[in-house]
Amino acid sequence: MNVLILGNGLAGTLAAKTLRELDPAVAIDVLGEEPYPYYPRPNLIEYLAGRRSRDKIYAFPEGWAERQRIGHRLGERARRILPAAKKVETASGAALSYDALLVATGARAALPPLPGIDQAGVFALRTLDDADALLGHLEGRRRVAVLGGGLLGLEIARALRGRGAEVEVVEFFDRLLPRQLDPPAAAVLRAQLERSGISVRLGAVAKEVLGDGTVRGLRFETGPDLETEAVVVAAGIKPEVGLAAEAGLRVGRGIIVDDQMKTSEPGIFAAGDVAEHGGRVYGIVPAAFEQARVAASAILGLDRSYGGTVPFNTLKVAGLAVTSAGEIDAVGPGLESHVRSDPASGLHKKIVLQEGRLIGAIWMGTTKGAAEIVRLVSLKRDVETIKKALIEDDFDFTEIP
């Protein structure tokens, strides 16, 4: 069997690795648009912050793919998928045949349609080249605006602040991390960020990127302009569905897949940020991991299914540990929440239950019990009898099997 994988990001690379682990004989070729071997995207943040050198961002040592007998075509873009012929045409003119095709083309940054957004000094952070371009622009410049107060935006802000930049985070919603934190936790996080020297502007609707070919500021629907020398957009993603749509595959926001990561076209699978499962594009690392493994198994005819991923995220901002998992708002019949909060110390614990089962949690200001609470949320564990004890500092998670 000959398997062709489009994309050498997390989903594509992990699928190739899993295929090789499951079948020593299967032929595997990976087509990567970037000219670099696979690097975990979080390593870009470390590189941006100056905590990791360029040669240390890659996931595997040099020669790993060759030793695994995984063919790599780096710096080569797929131009067209031909399902009937079971071929992929590349930009260089090559025609690559496949028995099974995995589309793992990921996503690109979503740029808001603002006047002036195409000026020099506006960046997104999806690739190593993006990081290099941003660092090059900031040589001799200090003021940076980050559009987006989500996970990526805060990580970028923290990295650039660590390099000595003057950073202001601009968020459309009325709180930071609106998908991961409730208002009290978000308020604690904002205070911690501001103590670290990062400014925060909430409820701000950007109207225009100001400049004369190079960025010099932002204008908003209301409120004063913001002077800045760079704008970094961290406002979501758009799955790269162009190839799939042109090939006749069923697409929505992403490439629509079933529980085996099969698309609407026989022999073609999709995984990672480009895939839409159950009406949802996850865009998170845990989902890419699970989907890639399921896709590899399904390609080989093995019985394995994907049932969705419980969203969870863990980060550290200005010294404050933040973990969020599942549903964070107790709104609706049968839902309840329990909270323990100490804003002065940065501690905020919240659990959300549905008829006694744990379906969400916020764990801020401590790492103790964070991994365990994520596991319980993923299992939707019945914690009715211990729900109040769960958020106490002395709770012993080892007592739960």
pLDDT digits (tens, 9 = 90+) for 223-274: 999 999 999 999 989 999 999 999 999 999 999 999 999 999 999 999 999 9
Give the CB-side neighbour count of residue 147, counting CA atoms within 13 A. 28
Among 202, 181, 161, CA closest to 313: 181
The proportion of the chain whose per-residue pLDDT surpasses 90, expressed as a percent, equals 88
User: What pLDDT shows up at residue 108?
Assistant: 94
Q: Which amino acid is located at 91 in the chain?
A: A
Contact 18, 114 (CB under 8 A): no
Ranges of beta strands (E only) in 179-311 are 199-202, 206-211, 215-220, 226-227, 230-233, 237-239, 255-257, 268-270, 275-277
pLDDT digits (tens, 9 = 90+) for 28-37: 999 999 999 9
Place of tokens 């908003």: 220
Measured CA to CA in angstroms, residue 76 lies from 36, 39, 103, 381 at distances of 11, 17, 15, 46
User: What pLDDT shows up at residue 194?
Assistant: 93
pLDDT digits (tens, 9 = 90+) for 48-69: 999 999 999 999 999 999 999 9
Q: How far apart are CA 276 and CA 150, in angstroms?
A: 21
User: What pLDDT shows up at residue 28?
Assistant: 98
Contact 37, 65 (CB under 8 A): yes
pLDDT digits (tens, 9 = 90+) for 85-103: 999 999 999 999 999 999 9
Give the CB-side neighbour count of residue 212, counting CA atoms within 13 A. 0
Category of 3 on φ-ψ map: left (φ > 0), alpha (ψ -120 to 50) or beta: beta
Give the CB-side neighbour count of residue 191, counting CA atoms within 13 A. 13
Q: How far apart are CA 227 and CA 231, in angstroms?
A: 10
User: What pLDDT shows up at residue 317?
Assistant: 73
Q: How confident is the model at residue 334 (pLDDT cuts 50, 70, 90)?
A: confident
Phi/psi of residue 192, nearest 5 degrees? -65, -40
> Within the chain, what is the greatest distance between any pair of CA atoms?
64
- Asked whether the predicted pLDDT for residue 353 surpasses 90, the reply is yes
Q: How far apart are CA 209 and CA 198, in angstroms?
A: 21
What distance lies between CA 102 and its chain's CA centroid? 20
User: What pLDDT shows up at residue 312?
Assistant: 85
User: What pLDDT shows up at residue 30?
Assistant: 98
- What is the bridge-based pairing of β-strands 70-74 and 312-317? unpaired
User: What pLDDT shows up at residue 333?
Assistant: 85
Average model confidence (pLDDT) across the chain: 94
With DSSP H G I counted as helix, E B as strand and the rest as coil, what are the percentages for the chain, rounded to 5? 25, 30, 40
> 44 is written with which tokens?
């870009």
Q: How far apart are CA 199 and CA 398, in angstroms?
A: 40
pTM value > 0.75: yes
- Asked whether the predicted pLDDT for residue 75 surpasses 90, the reply is yes
User: What pLDDT shows up at residue 330?
Assistant: 81
Give the pLDDT mean for 322-343.
89
Q: Domains (ranges, CATH) in the chain? A: 2-108+237-299 (3.50.50.60), 122-233 (3.50.50.60), 312-399 (3.30.390.30)
Place of tokens 């609470």: 373
Tell me how many degrees the CA angle 106-108-111 measures, rounded to the nearest 5: 160
User: What pLDDT shows up at residue 332?
Assistant: 80
Q: How far apart are CA 102 and CA 100, in angstroms?
A: 7
The proportion of the chain whose per-residue pLDDT surpasses 70, expressed as a percent, equals 100
pLDDT digits (tens, 9 = 90+) for 175-233: 999 888 999 999 989 998 998 999 999 999 999 999 999 999 999 999 999 999 999 99
Q: How confident is the model at residue 15 (pLDDT cuts 50, 70, 90)?
A: very high
pLDDT digits (tens, 9 = 90+) for 337-352: 999 988 888 899 999 9
User: What pLDDT shows up at residue 329?
Assistant: 86
Length of the chain, please?
Answer: 401
